[in-house]
Amino acid sequence: MSSEKPSGAQVMFGEFAPKLVRLTDEVLFGQVWPDEGLSRRDRSLVTVAALVAL
């Protein structure tokens, strides 16, 4: 187990939706959000759209 503090998604959904946690932490905030090729506005739109779709 990681010594880091659990993410908000892990705290809220970790027990019953581990795939949602993985998608939120690794894909949305691990790949999409740090991508400097997208504007902050576009990153926000992608993040919100993905979370709503789930």
pLDDT single digits (tens) 39-54:
889 888 887 888 888 7
pLDDT digits (tens, 9 = 90+) for 3-40: 578 888 878 887 888 888 888 888 878 887 787 888 88
Alpha helices in 1-54 (DSSP H): 8-13, 18-22, 40-53
Query: Which residue in 51, 11, 12 sits closest to 28, CA to CA?
Result: 51
